[in-house]
Amino acid sequence: MARFRIVQNRKKCIGCGFCVALCHTNWYMEKDGKASPKKRIVRAIGCNKLAADNCPVQVISVIRMLK
């Protein structure tokens, strides 16, 4: 079964909240005003792709894992 790794360059997150709005099942805002993924390894890419595609500073990547 496929698995995906969610990678975020959090240092460059501007806290716009788009990822949370588009994918609240796996993204949330932290107290410092930046977003984080709830899970970094997921079995289905789901809305994480939407979050990655719409991050205005392109700090989210979704990578298919080989194993």
Q: Where along the sequence are the contacts to ligand SF4 (CB under 6 A)?
A: 8, 13-19, 34-35, 55-57, 59-60
* Local structure of 41: helix, strand or coil: strand
Establish how many alpha carbons lie within 13 A of residue 14's alpha carbon, considering only the half-sphere containing its beta carbon: 7
Label the pairing between strands 35-37 and 60-65: unpaired
CB of 64 to ligand SF4, least distance (A): 20
CB of 67 to ligand SF4, least distance (A): 27
> Are 55 and 31 a contacting pair, CB within 8 Å?
no
Which C-beta is closer to ligand SF4: that of 24 or that of 34?
34
CB of 10 to ligand SF4, least distance (A): 7
